[in-house]
Amino acid sequence: MKSITINGSQRESVGRKATKALRNAGQVPCVLYGGDKSVHFSAAELAFSKLVYTPNAHTVVIALENGDTYNAILQDIQFHPVTDRILHIDFYQLFDDKEISMDIPVSFVGNSKGVRNGGVLRKNKRSLRIKALPGNLPDFIEADITELKIGSKLYITTLENEAYKFMHPDNTVVCLVKRSRTSVNDDVDEDDEDDATNEGDAPAAAE
């Protein structure tokens, strides 16, 4: 998984007055959990643009001015209810030998027969929560819709991978192809249609 580096400064004071002063200076107060002790730090609001305002998943390298670095993932973020400015971010520290749960975006690939016949692809899950070691976290989860006909569903069990496990029930529907007013019947396989066409074109046997 791709990583983004956040350069920050450790916070000495974590009171309300100090937090307000940080925000007024364009800084975002942050807390890193998961280690032996919580680490309070701040970083410029612009430093989080590639991490927050994107559908992609990333791990984070937090690099502090004192030389300390931490591998982490974004755990929670708070926005201002009116301005949408970032008010606070919580991170969770990663360890190579410790599994972590994370939401990973789904990438839909393939050309569904049902969609070609006028059906509508409904994406029920645009991201899926998985549990894995940090080194096994994927950039995205690929969902191949090629075999989906009208009325077909793609279940999460189809996407199983040895590198990680899904934190969803086995009957979770990732996507499906719904019938529309303009859709046609795709019950007959393309191979069967080709066979039927070839039989129709064949010359009649002589009596």
Rounded Cα gap, residues 19 and 25, in angstroms: 10
DSSP assignment of 92-150: EE--TTS-EEEEEEEEEES--HHHHTT-EEEES-SEEEEEE-GGG--S-EEEE-TT--T
Q: pLDDT tens, 60-94? A: 999 999 999 999 999 999 999 999 999 999 999 99
Mean of pLDDT over the chain: 88
Q: Could you please state the CATH topology (level 3) that the domain comprising 101-190 is classified under.
A: RNA Polymerase Alpha Subunit; Chain A, domain 2 (2.170.120)
Q: Does the structure show a pLDDT above 50 at 195?
A: no
List where CATH 2.40.240.10 sits in the chain. Answer: 3-94
Q: Does the structure show a pLDDT above 50 at 197?
A: no
The 10 Å Cβ neighbour count of residue 111 is 9
pLDDT of residue 93: 97
pLDDT category, 187, cuts 50, 70, 90?
Answer: low
Q: pLDDT tens, 102-160? A: 999 999 999 999 999 999 999 999 999 999 999 999 999 999 999 999 999 999 999 99
Rounded Cα gap, residues 69 and 134, in angstroms: 16
- Its CATH architecture, for the domain 3-94, is Beta Barrel (2.40)
